[in-house]
Structure 1
Amino acid sequence: MSAPQGWEEIRAEVLRRIDRRDWAPGAIIPTEAELAAEFGCARATVNRALRELAAQGVLERRRKAGTRVATLPVRKATLDIPVTRLEVEGRGQHYDFRLLEASETVPPVPVSSRLGLAPDATLWHLRTLHFADGQPFLYEDRWLNPAVLPDGLPEDMAEVSINEWLVKTVAYTYGDIAFSAANARADDAAHLGVEPGAALFITERTTWAGEAPVTAVRLAYAPGYRLHTVL
């Protein structure tokens, strides 16, 4: 194909090739750059199409390992990165937040390792406490890669949370997410107003833009939080 293609058309063409067994189950498909050159479109357009197919379970995407056709396609749950303000307001509650820390420092080794960075890499450390009707709702502990922020952090960090600003302005291509029940750490307990060791719902998420890590964040929700998604 030489004419520019929309991401929906590229998605349909990829599906046709899979259905025809041009790309068999388990096969690694061409790279985004190769497909963009073939289709005559931007790499971001190809990325959008492949992300949609990965979300449907048709493709499997792994950092530095390429994209392959799923051996056993499965239907996957849809998980969006939520804007905490909208999540709280969607519950009919008043939202507020307080930025607790914004510093540029070297992270603990487990964090730099998780992001694939050198142990002495400097990141932004941003801690935010989110409120629902004046009560602690979510304690957010985030490490953010300054290399993906050409214009730096926003000037109005007291007006718009880093969570909301990132979702709206910093694109990511893929990520990983883990959910767990864990005992409250000392900082969790202090900010959420619970006893140390209390059971909390924890989300840990890492996102990437191509080969560059964007952010690693740990979210500790106050007791009673309930996650909802769709199938």
Structure 2
Amino acid sequence: MTGWEDVRAEVLRRIRARDWAPGALIPGEEALAVEFGVARATVNRALRDLAEAGLLERRRKAGTRVALLPVRRATLEIPVIRQEVEARGQRHSFRLLAMADAVPPVPVASQLGWGPGLAKLYLETLHLANGKPYAHETRWLEPAVLPDPPPDFSGVSANEWLVTHVAYATGDIAFSAEAADARCAEVLGVAPGAALFVTERTTFSAQGAITFVRLVHAPGYRLHTLV
């Protein structure tokens, strides 16, 4: 075996073949590393992935067991909106509508663990598909994750730059249907009060919060993911 994906595949095979029955304690990382001829870190990465998928239960000092009732956990990769639009056969462009250092609203600061009154970077972006509004993006961003000098967000969207440059460890995502407020109605070209699909997402690195983003999608947007 050469990588964690190979280890993952073999462990998954054993689970599905009932070589390791539901609830069974599987060999430790060190024993598996010796058996598979890989580093212990490689085994750890494979088991962690299966635990995140709900197939294994890992507890400190208690070892790793096959889940009694495996839970399928949906995973959603953060999309690059440009690629999402281009996959629809359309041309993507965007406009940076606003960029400023400002104090985020209390609910946002609380959700991200930011102290009260601390200024963060605020960005407002309109994404377009074939020149028509596709999504209205408002974002609060931790400036510490940016290099010096920071990226030119008028030339590359914050969405694309963050996905390709900043690794995240955990996150949270929520979906809702909401009535268009005056600003969304203006930039998306819809009637105030129109029902729109909204995505709100927070992401964190091991060091702390990265960003909170709110995407309000133009009418006709369709979310598709695999389970």
Is 1:216 the counterpart of 2:212? The answer is: yes
Change in 2 beyond 3 A, CA 1:71/1:196: farther
- Give CA-to-partner distance per residue, 1:60-115, whole Å, 9 cap, x none: 89xxxxxx986632223341111111111111111110011111111010000010
Is 1:50 the counterpart of 2:48? The answer is: yes
The residue number in structure 1 matching 2:127 is: 130
The counterpart of 1:81, out of the listed 72, 78, 81, is: 78
Q: Which runs of 5+ in 2 are unaligned?
A: 27-38, 59-64
Change in 2 beyond 3 A, CA 1:229/1:149: same
Q: Distance in 1 between matches of 2:123 and 2:49?
A: 28
Question: How far apart are 1:151 and its partner, in Å?
Answer: 3.4
Q: Distance in 2 between matches of 1:183 and 1:70?
A: 42
Q: How does 1:88-99 map to 2 (within 5 A)?
A: 88-99=85-96
Change in 2 beyond 3 A, CA 1:227/1:134: same
Using structure 1 for the length normalisation, give the TM-score.
0.75
Q: Secondary structure at the match of 2:144?
A: helix
- Give CA-to-partner distance per residue, 1:107-166, whole Å, 9 cap, x none: 0100000101111222111110000111100000111111222435313x2221110111
Question: How far apart are 1:10 and its partner, in Å?
Answer: 6.6
Question: How far apart are 1:7 and its partner, in Å?
Answer: 3.5
Q: How does 1:17-32 map to 2 (within 5 A)?
A: 19=20, 21-22=24-25
Tell me if the contact between 2:7 and 2:46 (Cα under 8 Å) persists in the aligned partners: no
The counterpart of 1:151, out of the listed 148, 152, 157, is: 148
Question: How far apart are 1:22 and its partner, in Å?
Answer: 3.5
Tell me if the contact between 1:11 and 1:50 (Cα under 8 Å) persists in the aligned partners: no
Q: Secondary structure at the match of 2:123?
A: strand
The residue number in structure 1 matching 2:101 is: 104
Is 1:189 the counterpart of 2:185? The answer is: yes
The residue number in structure 1 matching 2:114 is: 117
One-letter identity of the residue aligned with 1:206:
T
Tell me if the contact between 2:47 and 2:56 (Cα under 8 Å) persists in the aligned partners: no
One-letter identity of the residue aligned with 1:50:
R
Q: Distance in 1 between matches of 2:67 and 2:96?
A: 42
Q: Which runs of 5+ in 1 are unaligned?
A: 24-38, 62-67
Change in 2 beyond 3 A, CA 1:174/1:152: farther
Tell me if the contact between 1:102 and 1:125 (Cα under 8 Å) persists in the aligned partners: yes
The residue number in structure 2 matching 1:207 is: 203
Larger of the two Rg values belongs to structure: 2
Tell me if the contact between 1:146 and 1:152 (Cα under 8 Å) persists in the aligned partners: no
One-letter identity of the residue aligned with 1:192:
L
The residue number in structure 1 matching 2:136 is: 139
Q: How does 1:158-177 map to 2 (within 5 A)?
A: 158-177=154-173
One-letter identity of the residue aligned with 1:159:
G
Q: Secondary structure at the match of 1:229?
A: coil
Q: Distance in 2 between matches of 1:14 and 1:116?
A: 37
One-letter identity of the residue aligned with 1:77:
A
Change in 2 beyond 3 A, CA 1:88/1:212: same
Seq. identity, %: 55
Superposition RMSD in Å = 3.2
Using structure 2 for the length normalisation, give the TM-score.
0.77
Question: How far apart are 1:50 and its partner, in Å?
Answer: 2.3
Q: Secondary structure at the match of 1:77?
A: coil
Q: Secondary structure at the match of 2:156?
A: coil
